[in-house]
Amino acid sequence: MKNLPFIIIILLTISCQSKLEKKLKSTKKITIVAHRGASGYLPEHTIASKAVAHAMNADYIEQDIVLSKDDIPIVIHDILLDDVTNVSEKYPNRKREDGKYYVIDFTFEELKTLEVTERFDSKTGLQIYPTRFPKGTSSFRLHSLQDEIELIQGLNKSSGKDIGIYPEIKKPKFHNENGKDISKIVLDILTKYGYSTKDDQCILQCFDAQELERIRNELKSKLFLVQLMEFPEQNNLLAFYASYADGIGPWYKHLISSKTTSGFSFTSLVEEAHKLDLVVHPYTFREDSLDDFDSFKQMIDVIIHQAGADGGFTDFPDKMKEILEIKL
């Protein structure tokens, strides 16, 4: 090596570093989050969809959380019941003046009487994703956060796995306006079940930045926190998010700046987030909603391997896992 020209030594060093970086990138742990469970196969946020997601070996299983009238955290995506239950048939006179049915207006016992179905348009009655589990068939019910944690922890024990939970605090301001501190209630339950530090298999997320900052600073949570992001303008707030959060959850489209015949170009979001030690878990990878992608494989490849995301939310955890394992 001593007899080689200096420039050749430099080139060889760069080449070795490049190969090492590619190797490290290719073996980086990618986090697969089962979005509302295995929702590509079964109605979202049902116990059945969570059990299937566990069997598919997702790294984390997501829980959207809304409070009932009697302060029980319910696993459901919206503060409304209209689009995933038969509430209008069961309780036709319980809607508010705006014509909608709110979870917070029903006790847990009342909520458990409702039939849960595949998501549909409450105005037309048509199923949102036509090729998924047939709307109105079989029998599914709403359940509490405690029910789901016990299911996942029980399956972990019986299977020897260590699959985590990924709860989301939904609409904290709405709950506050209705006299409920949803964040405190949820944190107390998480602590009871052994989720209180960043070393525990729990990632807590919220779209409301003010509330997530409160969870860290006022409520003193030591959990791994992820700031969900809805709008591209939020890309400029990463330094603020890094002051209390450990990661971000942007819409995957905000990682892409353009698409041309030669491929995709990307925003600086992932690069800037990584500089601030924020992990990036974009949402939502759906095989039956590809947008500008030619295939589910291309969607995963572009967002994970090209844009550099650290994982993401998917309705099809088994297929995302298969694609990632083939790539690795």
pLDDT one-digit tens code per residue, 76-108: 999 999 999 999 999 999 999 999 999 999 999
The confidence score (pLDDT) of residue 25 equals 39
Res 327: pLDDT: 60
Catalytic residues: 35, 77
The whole-angstrom separation of Cα 54 and Cα 230 is: 27
Integer angstrom CA distances of residue 6 from 9, 11, 17, 84: 5, 9, 17, 67
> pTM value?
0.91
**Which tokens sit at 221?**
């949570």
What is the reported pLDDT for 152? Answer: 98
Low-confidence ranges of the chain (pLDDT < 50): 1-27
Q: Which residues contact 67 (CB under 8 A, 6 or more apart)?
A: 73, 74, 103, 104, 175, 180, 182, 185
C-alpha dist (Å) from residue 209 to 4, 229, 278 = 56, 9, 15
CB within 8 A of 68, min separation 6: which ones? 74, 103, 104, 106, 107, 108, 111
Structure tokens at 65: 């959380």
pLDDT at 135: 97
CA 314, 315, 317, 320 torsion-angle sign: negative
* Contacts for 107 with CB less than 8 Å, ≥ 6 apart: 68, 69, 70
Quick one: CA dihedral 28, 234, 60, 307, positive or negative? negative
pLDDT at 13: 36
Residue 326 is predicted with a pLDDT of 81
Distance between CA atoms of 266 and 254, rounded to whole angstroms? 9
State the CB neighbour count (10 A cutoff) for residue 125.
9
What tokens does 306 get? 């090209």
Domains of the chain: 29-79+160-327 (3.20.20.190)
